[in-house]
Amino acid sequence: MLIERVDDAEDPRLADYRDLTDIALRRVTEPASGLYIAESAKVIGRAVAAGHRPRSILVQEKWLADAEALVSAHPDTPVFVVSAVIAEQLTGYAVHRGALASMERPALPEVTDVVAGARLVVVLEDIVDHTNVGAVFRSAAALGADAVLITARCADPLYRRSVRVSMGTVFQVPWTRLPEWPAARTLLHDAGFHLSALALSDGAVELDDFIAAGHERVALMLGAEGDGLSRRAVAAADSIVTIPMAGGVDSLNVAAAGAVAVWALSPARHR
């Protein structure tokens, strides 16, 4: 390991952790696709296992042993050892999860490559809450979705909170960004998907009835918090689907609704 102990929050070696917001990290020109910050040994380990390359690791002394396993495949990665005070000065919050890593952001794959062979994909339209994005990825991984596709204005799955809430499953579930509607509809139709919009509508079918129709490949569309799917997204859908509700409740949080629908639609349940 390349261990470097740092006792000054202004040290230029720590610039990735100090000077760059998550938005700015995506615009770093070297490497070409930008950077992101991964938090906790478990999450960093999953990122490395998925083929993502660490640029550096920031760790406190008591967690230094954990860093050795994280960089074993990349022994040239510097490991910066700092105190808890320096870590908080850098990040603006108490770092309790052992380690942070500045990771090189991989280039996004093509939509056609991500959905090749998939039977159930989740489409996130303009969901701006990072917690909800992370929760959807975790449900997708746990309940059997094959991929996640997100629109241009959707929150970044590699934002720290999204990664943390997902428990690192953003590195496990294939994902990429979609073009705008109706180009996204054309892409998914050409790949053989039936587009199902989870939305409230007078013409909607209940989830069980939609499942009974037996569509071979389904793209489940989830909309933004509050407003739901846009009119353009609903217009692009082949079916509008609802989850039956009780107790006078008309809808669920988008992450909860997504989890219910993914579980119900999971190909593994219908083989």
Encode 71-127 in three state secondary structure: CCCCCCCEEEEECHHHHHHHHCCCCCCCEEEEEECCCCCCHHHHHCCCCEEEEECCC
Of the candidates 263, 162, 164, 250, the one whose C-alpha atom is nearest the C-alpha of residue 200 is 250
Please, what is the angle between helix 130-143 and helix 254-265, to 10°? 10
Query: How close are the terminal C-alpha atoms of the chain, in Å?
Result: 48
| Close Cβ partners of 198 (under 8 Å, ≥ 6 residues apart) | 220, 221, 222, 223, 229, 241, 242, 243, 257, 258, 261
Q: Please give the pLDDT value at position 23.
A: 64
Spacing of C-alpha 111 from chain mean position: 15
* pLDDT at res. 61: 87
pLDDT of residue 146: 97
- Assigned token pair, 195: 């587009």
Residue pair 97/67 in contact (Cβ under 8 Å)? The answer is no
**Integer angstrom CA distances of residue 47 from 8, 206, 257:** 28, 38, 27
Task: List residues bridging with 99 in a β-sheet.
Answer: 59
- Tens of pLDDT, residue by residue, the chain (271 residues): 799 999 999 999 998 888 666 666 666 655 656 888 888 888 899 999 999 999 999 998 888 888 888 888 898 999 999 998 888 888 777 776 778 999 999 889 999 999 999 999 999 999 999 999 999 999 999 999 999 999 999 999 998 889 989 989 999 999 999 999 999 999 999 999 999 999 988 889 999 999 999 999 999 999 987 788 999 999 999 999 999 988 888 778 999 999 999 999 997 666 5
Reported pTM: 0.88
pLDDT at 223: 94
What is the pLDDT, as a whole number, of residue 68? 82
Residues 6+ apart with CB under 8 A from 98: 40, 41, 59, 60, 63, 66
Tokens 């705008």: give the residue. Answer: 180
